[in-house]
Amino acid sequence: MIMRFLSFFEYKLLALIRHLGSITMMFIDTLLYSATNPPRRSIIYEQMYKIGVLSSPVVLITGAATGMIIAIQTYYQLHQLTIESVVGIIVGLSMTNELGPVLTGLMVAGRVGAAMSAELGTMKVTEQVDALYTLATSPTKYLIVPRFIASILLIPILTICSIFVGIVGGYLVGVKMLGINSVFFLKNLRQYTDVSDLCNGIIKSLFFALIVVMVGCYKGFTTEGGAEGVGKSTTDSVVISCITILIVDFFLSIVLF
């Protein structure tokens, strides 16, 4: 029984190492194509629209709701200690350093990562990817690089927008609904939240963008088994992206703070 468990663990470990090696090579190829021979701008613009513009409603709604919830929860806890004026500090620091980039990454992983995996997986099982090879066209350059560039450019912008609407939502709830003094709210927000906090959120968002696009494209490119395989790859893409984002966020928080 123990030998079976060890064999299974060894098999899973080797499979994980193989996947990590493959996705690393894909990432290196993507960087080389992005720097030396990028695709046409029209293809990149199309992906920017799909990744950035179409994702903005869910990201903005999530950010605003998060800021409002933080303001409500912290107010009722701090009101008992008569220090509700620090709600602005908590809203600002939480949105810039943690919740803004993380929730944006998770929302984009659920929407964009799944779409990438499903689209590329369908192309893989219908042999459209193989057709690109026969046309002397690199699938990495044509399919991955536009999504990579669009994600790296727009997910940080989505994160900034999420942070902004979250802080505005927290302000509206705290000041207009709960009656916190607006002067204290804004003064504490400006005093304890600075540019470095926003930069920390942007740095995190860059790593999360990289995770979403590489995991989504890799799972799409390794899809097998027809329609059932596409569904499995899509599910795996979202799950792996979300778990990886949370793990990487932990280590980035240690390094940045």
**Rounded CA gap, 192 and 215, in Å?**
36
Q: Decide if pLDDT at 2 tops 60.
A: no
Q: Decide if pLDDT at 91 tops 70.
A: yes
Q: Is residue 34 part of a domain?
A: no
Domain limits for position 243: 45-256
Q: Is residue 33 part of a domain?
A: no
Residue type, 98: E
Q: Is residue 201 part of a domain?
A: yes
**44: part of which helix (H) or strand (E)?**
helix 41-48
Q: Decide if pLDDT at 7 tops 80.
A: no
What's the pLDDT at 160? 94
Give the three-state DSSP class for 168: helix
Q: pTM above the 0.85 mark?
A: yes
Q: Is residue 32 part of a domain?
A: no
Whether 114 contacts 234, CB under 8 Å: yes
Q: Is residue 37 part of a domain?
A: no
Q: Is residue 64 part of a domain?
A: yes
231 burial class (0-12, 13-18, 19+ CB within 10 angstroms)? middle
Tokens of 115: 């779409």
Average pLDDT of 16-28?
Answer: 82
Q: Is residue 65 part of a domain?
A: yes
The residue ranking higher by pLDDT, 36 or 159, is 159
Domain total of the chain: 1
Q: Decide if pLDDT at 75 tops 70.
A: yes
Q: Is residue 21 part of a domain?
A: no
- Binned at pLDDT 50, 70 and 90, residue 148 comes out as very high
What's the pLDDT at 5? 53
**48: part of which helix (H) or strand (E)?**
helix 41-48
